[in-house]
Amino acid sequence: MKHLILAGYFLKKNLKSILSFAIILFVATVMFTSGIMITTSIDDDYKKRFDELNTADVSFVVPEQTYTDGLLDKIRATENVSDVETARGIMLSIPVQMNGMEQNQNQIFYRLDDIKNISKLNTISSTDKNLEHAIYIPYYLSANSDLALGSDFSFTADGTKYEFRVKGVMEEMQYGNYSSSVLGEYLPADSYEYLKEHNSDKETRTIFIKSSDEEQTLKDVSKILIENHIPILNKSRASVKKQSRLSVSNILVLILLAFAVIILFISLVVTRFKIKQTLEEDLTNMGVLKSLGYKSHEIITGIVLPYVIATLVFSGLGIVLATPVLGLLGNVISTQAGFVWEPQLNIVASLIIVISIITLITVSTYLSTRKIKKLKPIEAIRGIGENETIKNPFPIAKTKGNVNFIMALKNFANSISGNILLGTILLLTTILASFVVTLFYNVNVSPENFVNTLVEEHPTVMVKQRENIKDEIAKDYKTIYYDENCESVLDGNSYKTFVAETFESMANDLVFEGSNPKNSDEVAVGSSLKEKYDYKIGDKIKLSSSNSHEYTITGFVQSVNNAGEVIEMTIDGYKNINEDYEPDTLYIYLDDETEEKATKLIEDLEAKYGDKIEQTVNYVSSMNSAVAMFISLIKIITIVIIIIALLVIYLVLNILLSGLIMSKKLELGVLKSVGFRTRQLVIQIVGGFMPSIIVFVLLGAVISSLCMNNVFDSIFSMVGAYKVSFEYPLFIFFGSAAFLAVSAILIGVILSMKIKRITVYSLIKES
């Protein structure tokens, strides 16, 4: 009973401070729960949906004219292969409206009847209306465009315009999103024949394979196709697709958990400080309680219990609120990943989170109250703590200077622990703010930095020529031959090979170690191949296609979309293994890239060269569309984290200033009675925290400027980006520091205005 009486007393006395602590803990719980739930469930849910649709572990896309039933028999007889199916399709590279902008994407228009037992489809929505030239679109396209049931889906290919009507939206686990390099569209028989009429030369056969060892099967089937001289138009394996589809969720989880840990740490620091402050303020009462027979453990329980109860209530509320937050995050992840994910709150995981947080807070608060055991009643009643002496720093009579400045110095010297607490919080929030503002700058202000980190080469315009027009175009524009669709064989496995006329003048240098190949006997290899074979710069590597040749490794490149399984070489280098190769893809660059100028360039080229051009792609529009989703997401994350940072600063200052004003109420009343105005007293109190505000936000800015590049390198390395093309301008770090410093001062002034309510009359009355 004594425990509850004391707990009620301490709860009533410190209610505002405990509520401030609880709100901070509530925010940490929401973020921590959201991050943990995503981490623990998305992999299982992804696998569940993958298995439900019996999605292929490995797939190959080959030209239809090269396919024979005998090929399928050979693949079926391969070790580790349990089942094989094929589906006809027409492979086109066409622009589609994504996020309000045109985005060029390779599309395979599958004959819907061919999709049977492997890589099945799940119908999300459909209409019963009879639509002419019906089409079923993938969920990713539906979620990122304005295409709805009954909408027109039209495009132009080789000068012919095709018009379809959206009959349904399908969920699939074969391709997924922009990073997959291919999207699947699905056509009923009549629609398929309508598209095939003028595109029979682009008809493909996709080989869907179920395998117990996807890497070995990829290698074995690649070998079969190579031996039969069958070109590989596209290939994929499940693990690589999963990595690209869940890349955003992985980064999002890391941000959530890191932020949650910092907020949880802040709540622990605040708790320890407030308990210490309570012990100092209630020193006399503690002595009285001990002299009346209260035991140390009863007093400790009375202090700790309100914090434990607040933790239980607000962490529980945090778990509850995490449910709608998870829904919002699930929608973001679904939109990016291309499959419908509805996260569910895991009761067991939720209980573990709550128990862990309660245990952490209980231990922390208990350790903060241990000094009560050593407290002697008589000394406590006299107001003397252990090893405590009364200090009067910067005495007014002996210190020269402005009285308000001297009083601020006294407040600073008498509130060292409070200044350290506030400084620690500001240091952490400055680093957090610097992180999100850096992310915002490189995604929203300079999106090319984000694009360069996650994608490969991106010119202004890509032109696929029918006749050689490269030299003519190069007279007016910076133009090179570049081809991302070549293949070369290493150790019996076929890998995508980037072939360039030169790598020196490209927009995005993918090399993160060493240098690009310059000569015909040099190559650069992807990050995954580097790790798999433990390659070093200078090592020899034997590649083959129709011929074989030995190359020297000059560098290592990143390719997020291909999971680092790529090779770079020059045109002459590729001719060593494929002597018949002739490049036909031109990458054209403008110094000032905008969608309008890229569109105008395409119009000019098509008007001038006409039938000499097979295809053009507005890469600026495609990149803008691809990054549009991230722009809105990062904007929301930035705003939310800044708001939370300001809320934490407010709550911490509320605890500090409330305690300070309460402990100095007598002194403040006396100062008002001798003529000090409220404004002067506010300056004195807030001025006492100015040194820690200024010093720690500057320290946070310096630490951020020195370490932020390493932070982003670590985050993006999780998705295979080893060369982060972000900029880290100093104004981001010091601007964030200045914003938080000014905000802290303004919040301090607002909270200190409660001094206005302290009157000489109330002071005399209360005394």
DSSP string of 546-591, one letter each residue: SSEEEEEEEEEE--GGGTT-EEEEEHHHHHTT-TT----EEEEE-S
pLDDT tens digits, residue range 450-483? 888 878 888 888 888 888 888 888 888 899 999 9
Within a 10 A sphere around the Cβ of 749, how many other Cβ atoms?
16
**Alpha carbons within 13 A on the beta-carbon side of 572:** 8
Give the separation between CA 431 and CA 429, rounded to whole angstroms.
5
What pLDDT score does 190 carry?
Answer: 93
What's the whole-number mean pLDDT along residues 23-44?
A: 85
Say which residue, 671 or 122, is predicted with more confidence. 122
Residue 102 has pLDDT above 70, yes or no: no
Instruction: Work out the pLDDT band at 380, boundaries 50, 70, 90.
Output: low
- The predicted-structure confidence for 576-620, as pLDDT tens digits, reads as follows 999 889 998 999 998 887 888 888 888 888 888 888 888 888 888
pLDDT the model gives residue 747: 87
The span from the CA of 457 to the CA of 472, in Å, is 22
Residue 535: helix, strand or coil by DSSP? Answer: coil
pTM above 0.95, yes or no: no
Q: What pLDDT does residue 280 have?
A: 67
Beta carbons within 8 Å of 209's beta carbon, 6+ residues apart: 56, 57, 58, 59, 60, 75, 81, 83, 84, 118, 217, 221
Q: Is the pLDDT of residue 701 over 80?
A: yes
Q: Write phi, then psi, for 485 (nearest 5 degrees).
A: -110, 20
Which DSSP string corresponds to 135-191? Answer: EEEEHHHHHTSS--TT-EEEEEETTEEEEEEEEEEEE-SSS-SGGGSEEEEEE-HHH
Residue whose token pair is 């105008």: 600
pLDDT digits (tens, 9 = 90+) for 196-218: 988 888 999 999 999 999 888 98
Cβ-contact 340, 124 below 8 angstroms = yes
Residue 646 has pLDDT above 70, yes or no: yes
Q: Is the pLDDT of residue 227 over 90?
A: no
The answer on pLDDT for 379 being more than 60 is: no
> Which of 238, 598, 263, 641 shows the shortest CA–CA distance to 433?
641
In whole angstroms, what is the distance from residue 647 CA to residue 641 CA?
10
Closest CA to 158 of 551, 515, 613: 613
Answer whether residue 767 shows pLDDT above 50: no
Q: Which helix (H) or strand (E) holds 30?
A: helix 15-52
pLDDT at 574 over 80: yes
Q: What region, left, alpha or beta, does residue 181 occupy, with left being phi > 0 and alpha being psi -120 to 50 degrees? A: left
* Collapsed DSSP state (helix, strand, coil) of residue 357: helix
Q: What are phi and psi of 729, to 5 degrees?
A: -65, 140
Which phi and psi angles does 551 have, rounded to 5°? Answer: -125, 160
Radius of gyration of the chain (CA): 33
Look at residue 369 in the predicted model and tell me its pLDDT. 78
Nearest to 303 by CA among 14, 658, 656: 14
To 10 degrees, the CA torsion angle through 662, 667, 668, 671? 180
The reported pLDDT for the residue numbered 165 is 92
List, for residues 512-523, the tens digit of each pLDDT value. 999 999 999 999
Q: pLDDT grade, residue 392 (50/70/90)?
A: low
Strands 58-63, 234-237: pairing kind? antiparallel
Q: Is the pLDDT of residue 708 over 60?
A: yes
Please report which confidence band the pLDDT of residue 270 belongs to, taking 50, 70 and 90 as the band edges: confident
Q: Does residue 114 contact residue 82 with C-beta atoms inside 8 Å?
A: no
Task: State the pLDDT at residue 343.
Answer: 84
Encoded tokens for 379: 């000394």
- Based on the number of CB atoms within 10 Å of its own CB, is 264 exposed (0-12), middle (13-18) or buried (19 or more)? buried
Angle (deg, nearest 10), helices 69-76 and 214-227: 140
Torsion of CA 670, 676, 678, 684, to 10 degrees: -90
3-state secondary structure of 386: coil
Distance CA 399, CA 663 (A): 24
pLDDT at 397 over 60: no
**What pLDDT is stored for residue 386 in this prediction?**
47
For the stretch 519-559, pLDDT in tens is: 999 999 999 899 989 999 999 999 988 889 999 999 999 88
**pLDDT averaged over every residue in the chain:** 83
β-bridge partners, 493: 490
Matching residue, tokens 């056969």: 205
